[in-house]
């Protein structure tokens, strides 16, 4: 079957495509095709995937080698493999905390689903920003929390004062993503520290730093040291973004040793069997490959700058981004769903209905992919 034919089949079968909701794992599963979809996602043949904030440069070659070296031991649990038993300690050392401060998880989405379940109290509420990453607020609502999502400010940045004011005696959890998804905005470390200290006097605080490593110091300052010493503050992170390991499913929570122990022995699976041998081996190797992370960060920044400037040249007003995606208002150019429209142009991205109007969210792919995206925008944008 030719690539074009297969692509056509894939488009036809994908019900999510019709809804313009983008392409998660379930969408691919529904296609009936295998997940070996790289031939659909390159510029030459067909679809350019700019929908899921993935790292287009792939995993570190050292991580790849570590997976190959670990395959012969895949019949063993990680706790029987001395090297892999060191994963928690390796991660802890990397962040200058103790192994007892670290909870390993299979990706960080599961953290965002389990946190509201763990902290649920009838009559309780969760405070977060609007817009922000959907999983935690969605789960919170589903299980009966009321969610107080404080609108971002006119500069599109998270309103920390507004969030602090929204916290009351019934607040069980405050969830803050920094840099935020989908806006891409950043809060400076000093403001974040003040927020964490204030909010944690009244409730549990979860800071999601999925995208923090796309920016440089001094803005790239994690709240991990605060979390390790304060039982009411947690940080969650993932290997899915800067490490390029979305498919390997590795995330973690860092917090006070007592709090981590409670999580580990409750809703959360015992942390040393949560992550597969291959993923743990890859993560440990990737931590050591700073060069690979630097390359991803540098290439992402260059492609992001190109995209922002090109959109601005069309008189579009993208929100300044500190991440590997950009959110921009769509005005009135595109009738119907923007994601569906772009799919017909062989590009997957997201439409976000937020901030009072239709927005597009485009992930930063390679420079060539972004040039292709801009080409389509130039051809179709009516200003
Ligand atoms: C802010 C944020 N947190 C967490 C995640 C989940 O990442 P994963 O489950 O791949 O670790 C994402 C995914 O896009 C995200 O945008």
Question: HSE (CB half, 13 Å, CA atoms) of 36?
Answer: 3
Q: Are strands 125-130 and 171-177 parallel, antiparallel or unpaired?
A: parallel
Overall average pLDDT of the 108-113 stretch = 96
Q: Are residues 119 and 250 in the same domain?
A: yes
C-alpha 105 – ligand 1 centre gap (Å): 12
Last residue of a domain, one of 288, 320, 344: 288
Which residue among 239, 240, 279, 323 has the greatest number of ligand 1 atoms within 8 angstroms of its CB, and so is best to mutate?
240
Q: Are residues 51 and 126 in the same domain?
A: no
How are the residues of the chain apportioned to helix, strand and coil, as percentages rounded to the nearest 5? 45, 15, 40
Overall average pLDDT of the 55-80 stretch = 96
Last residue of a domain, one of 288, 312, 343: 288
Q: Are residues 319 and 196 in the same domain?
A: no
Q: Are residues 123 and 220 in the same domain?
A: yes
Q: Are residues 200 and 124 in the same domain?
A: yes
Element (H, E) at 353: strand 350-354
| pLDDT at residue 379 is higher than 50 | yes
C-alpha 51 – ligand 1 centre gap (Å): 13
- Residue 79 CA to residue 57 CA, distance in Å, equals 31
Q: Are residues 281 and 352 in the same domain?
A: no
| pLDDT at residue 37 is higher than 50 | no
The CATH number of residue 239's host domain is: 3.40.640.10
* pTM for this predicted structure: 0.89
Q: Are residues 148 and 255 in the same domain?
A: yes
pLDDT at site 206: 98
Residues with CB under 6 A from ligand 1: 53, 107-109, 133, 177, 181, 208, 210, 238, 240, 246, 251
| pLDDT at residue 177 is higher than 60 | yes
C-alpha 238 – ligand 1 centre gap (Å): 7
Residue 25 phi, psi (nearest 5): -55, -45
- Residue 101 CA to residue 164 CA, distance in Å, equals 26
Instruction: Rounding to the nearest 10 degrees, give the CA dihedral for residues 51, 35, 29, 140.
Output: -50
In this predicted model, which residue has the larger pLDDT, 382 or 306? Answer: 306
Per-residue pLDDT of 111-137, as tens digits, reads 999 999 999 999 999 999 999 999 999
Residue % of the chain over a pLDDT of 90: 80
| pLDDT at residue 72 is higher than 50 | yes
The CATH number of residue 25's host domain is: 3.90.1150.10
Per-residue pLDDT of 337-377, as tens digits, reads 999 999 999 999 999 999 999 999 999 999 999 999 999 99
C-alpha 311 – ligand 1 centre gap (Å): 26
- For the chain, the domain total comes to 2
Contact 117, 143 (CB under 8 A): yes
Q: Are residues 96 and 233 in the same domain?
A: yes
pLDDT at site 14: 39
Last residue of a domain, one of 236, 269, 288: 288
Which residue among 210, 248, 250 has the greatest number of ligand 1 atoms within 8 angstroms of its CB, and so is best to mutate?
210
Q: Are residues 254 and 168 in the same domain?
A: yes
Q: How far, rounded to the nearest angstrom, does the alpha carbon of residue 363 sit from its chain's CA centroid?
A: 11
- Residue 254 CA to residue 223 CA, distance in Å, equals 9
pLDDT band at 333 (very low <50, low <70, confident <90, very high): confident
Tokens 């390993």 identify what position?
A: 104
Mean of pLDDT over the chain:
89
Q: Are residues 88 and 132 in the same domain?
A: yes
| pLDDT at residue 27 is higher than 90 | no
| pLDDT at residue 26 is higher than 70 | no
Q: Are residues 245 and 346 in the same domain?
A: no
In this predicted model, which residue has the larger pLDDT, 268 or 236? Answer: 236
In this predicted model, which residue has the larger pLDDT, 46 or 107? Answer: 107
Q: Are residues 191 and 316 in the same domain?
A: no
Domain of 12? 3-58+291-380
């Amino acid at each position: 079957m030719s690539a074009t034919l297969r692509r056509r089949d894939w488009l036809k079968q994908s019900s999510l495509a019709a809804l313009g909701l983008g392409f998660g794992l379930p969408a691919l599963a529904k296609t009936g095709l295998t997940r070996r979809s790289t031939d659909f996602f390159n510029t030459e043949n067909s679809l350019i995937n700019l929908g899921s904030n993935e790292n287009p440069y792939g995993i570190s070659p050292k991580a790849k080698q570590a997976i190959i070296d670990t395959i012969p031991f895949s019949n063993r649990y990680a706790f029987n493999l001395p090297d892999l038993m060191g994963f928690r300690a390796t991660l802890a050392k990397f962040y200058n905390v103790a192994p007892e401060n670290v909870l390993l998880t299979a990706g960080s989405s599961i953290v965002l689903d389990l946190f509201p379940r763990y902290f649920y109290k009838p009559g309780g509420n969760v405070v977060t920003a609007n817009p922000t990453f959907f999983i935690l607020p969605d789960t919170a609502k589903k299980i009966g929390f009321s969610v107080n999502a404080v609108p971002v400010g006119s500069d599109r940045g998270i309103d920390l004062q507004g969030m602090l004011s929204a916290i009351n005696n019934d607040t069980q959890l405050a969830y803050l993503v920094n840099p935020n998804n989908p806006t891409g905005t950043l809060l400076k470390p000093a403001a974040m520290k003040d927020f964490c200290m204030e909010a944690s006097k009244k409730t549990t605080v979860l800071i999601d730093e999925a995208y923090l490593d796309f920016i440089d110091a001094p803005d790239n300052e994690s709240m991990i040291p605060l979390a390790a010493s304060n039982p009411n503050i947690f940080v969650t992170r993932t290997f899915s973004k800067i490490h390029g390991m979305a498919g390997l499913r590795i995330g973690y929570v860092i917090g006070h040793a007592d709090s981590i122990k409670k999580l580990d022995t409750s809703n959360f699976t015992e942390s040393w069997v949560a992550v597969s041998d291959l993923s743990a081996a890859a993560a440990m190797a990737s931590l050591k490959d700073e060069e690979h992370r630097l390359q991803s960060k540098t290439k992402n920044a260059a492609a992001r700058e190109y995209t922002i400037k090109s959109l601005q040249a069309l008189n579009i007003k993208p929100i300044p981004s500190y991440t590997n995606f950009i959110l921009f208002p769509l005005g009135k150019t595109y009738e119907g769903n923007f994601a569906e429209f772009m799919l017909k142009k062989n590009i997957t991205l997201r439409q976000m209905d937020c901030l009072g109007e239709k927005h597009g969210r485009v992930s930063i792919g390679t420079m060539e992919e972004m040039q292709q995206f801009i080409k389509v925008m130039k051809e179709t944008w009516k200003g």
